[in-house]
């Protein structure tokens, strides 16, 4: 038998190893398996423990309003209307929504506004980004100036263009009069021009955002494919269409997703510029939801409208994400 050593801090482990070595028939030493660490002492659990309060707070902030609104859609509740104190109404609000022509009009107008605004913003943003990418001197100054519309708040933009489109003393109305196309009631009071004006104002505000994202993507494109194409005789249009634009597809996908998510929630500028008018020519979905919830104080039906809009937005986002992902894989 091998002599057992006692007195060291690891005497028990050493003794166990020597006993295993002595009991081995071939005389070879067999090391004991290391002890497995518990998950609760691992760095992963420590990191999760530190993040758990923030995760619970975010879950409370996000999930509680959704759950409360979902419950409210099955009730009849109003802060001012008599007899509506939260009684169970079943699917009454959803049946009312299915027959609501005003909501369908507002939802369709929101979709049209989002489509027109995003398409024009992406087209102009890519064009401006291409021009800025070609500038060798003063690019930083031009980029800083381009940021001005984006950093302004929607309230300031709405008030500014409200003065510019004023029928009596607005600059834009004056310029239209000089060109021979005067509008008696002004741009914002005409149903045929009010919606176009709202779209153009949104383009003015958010086109620089798209341009800066695309500019960053252009500057990240490697120079080797461009140099090879130039050596093959490609012109500027061929370089942009065949090389730069395919490489910018992931950047454009993210930019379109950001802008669509913002445009579908348009409220501030429309509320200040037209209030949804004239008539319902510019009444987008968020403005209609605001009127139902805080003008009519029909909170249960307003919650139903909001939840349906949220579901429609999520379905559209998932569809767009899958479509762009399939195109990138091809």
Residues 80 and 119 in one domain: no
Segment 43-60 shows an average pLDDT of 86
Residues 56 and 3 in one domain: no
Is residue 289 scored above 90 in pLDDT? yes
Residues 58 and 182 in one domain: no
- Write down the pLDDT at residue 159: 93
The phi and psi torsions of 33 (rounded to 5 degrees) equal -65, 135
Contacts of 42 (CB under 8 A, 6+ apart): none
- Write down the pLDDT at residue 29: 52
Examine the fold and report which residue of 93, 115, 132 is the final residue of a domain before the chain moves on: 93
Residues 201 and 79 in one domain: no
Residues 161 and 177 in one domain: yes
The phi and psi torsions of 218 (rounded to 5 degrees) equal -65, -40
CA distances (Å), origin 99, targets 77, 103, 108, 309: 20, 9, 15, 16
Is residue 126 scored above 60 in pLDDT? yes
Residues 68 and 106 in one domain: no
Residues 21 and 87 in one domain: no
What pTM was computed for the model?
0.80
Chain segment 219-246, per-residue pLDDT in tens: 999 989 889 988 988 888 888 899 999 8
Residue scoring higher pLDDT (19 or 298): 298
Residues 143 and 21 in one domain: no
Is residue 251 scored above 70 in pLDDT? yes
Rounded to whole angstroms, the Cα distance separating 109 from 281 reads 8
Residues 7 and 106 in one domain: no
Rounded to whole angstroms, the Cα distance separating 65 from 310 reads 12
Residues 154 and 283 in one domain: yes
Rounded to whole angstroms, the Cα distance separating 96 from 100 reads 6
- Write down the pLDDT at residue 187: 86
Segment 257-286 shows an average pLDDT of 92
Model confidence band, residue 39 (pLDDT cutoffs 50, 70, 90): low
- Write down the pLDDT at residue 248: 92
Residues 56 and 194 in one domain: no
Average pLDDT over the chain, rounded to whole?
85
Segment 252-272 shows an average pLDDT of 91
Could you tell me the two tokens for 223?
């120079």
Chain segment 76-98, per-residue pLDDT in tens: 999 888 888 889 999 999 999 99
Segment 55-60 shows an average pLDDT of 89
Range of the domain at 24: 1-35
The total number of structural domains that make up the chain: 3
Rounded to whole angstroms, the Cα distance separating 154 from 144 reads 19
Residues 75 and 198 in one domain: no
Could you tell me the two tokens for 322?
């899958």
Distance of CA 232 to the CA centre of its chain: 40
Chain segment 202-215, per-residue pLDDT in tens: 999 999 999 999 99
Cβ-based burial of 304 (10 A; exposed 0-12, middle 13-18, buried ≥19): buried
Closest of 17, 37, 38, 39 to residue 28, by C-alpha: 17
């Amino acid at each position: 038998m091998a002599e057992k050593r006692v007195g060291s801090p690891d005497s028990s482990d050493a003794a166990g190893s020597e006993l295993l070595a002595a009991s081995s028939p071939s005389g070879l030493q067999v090391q004991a398996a290391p002890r497995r660490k518990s998950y609760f002492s691992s760095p992963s659990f420590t990191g999760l423990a530190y993040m758990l309060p923030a995760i619970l707070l975010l879950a409370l902030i996000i999930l509680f309003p959704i759950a409360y609104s979902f419950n409210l859609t099955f009730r009849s509740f109003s802060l001012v209307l008599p007899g509506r104190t939260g009684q169970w109404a079943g699917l009454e609000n959803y049946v009312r929504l299915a027959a609501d022509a005003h909501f369908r009009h507002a939802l369709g107008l929101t979709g049209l506004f989002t489509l027109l605004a995003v398409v024009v913003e992406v087209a102009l943003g890519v064009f401006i980004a291409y021009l800025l990418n070609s500038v060798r001197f003063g690019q930083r100054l031009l980029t800083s100036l381009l940021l001005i519309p984006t950093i302004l708040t929607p309230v300031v933009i709405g008030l500014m263009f409200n003065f510019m489109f004023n029928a009596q003393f607005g600059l834009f109305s004056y310029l239209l009069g000089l060109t021979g196309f005067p509008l008696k009631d002004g741009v914002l009071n005409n149903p045929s021009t009010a919606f176009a004006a709202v779209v153009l104002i949104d383009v003015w505000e958010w086109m620089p955002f798209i341009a800066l994202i695309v500019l960053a993507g252009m500057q990240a494109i490697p120079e080797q494919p461009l140099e090879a194409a130039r050596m093959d005789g490609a012109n500027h249009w061929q370089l942009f269409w065949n090389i730069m634009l395919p490489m910018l597809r992931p950047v454009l996908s993210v930019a379109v997703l950001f802008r669509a998510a913002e445009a579908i929630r348009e409220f501030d500028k429309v509320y200040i510029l037209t209030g949804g008018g004239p008539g319902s020519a510019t009444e987008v979905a968020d403005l209609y939801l605001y009127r139902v919830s805080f003008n009519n104080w029909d909170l249960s039906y307003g919650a139903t409208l909001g939840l349906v809009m949220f579901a429609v937005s999520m379905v559209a986002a998932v569809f767009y994400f899958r479509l762009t992902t399939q195109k990138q894989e091809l």
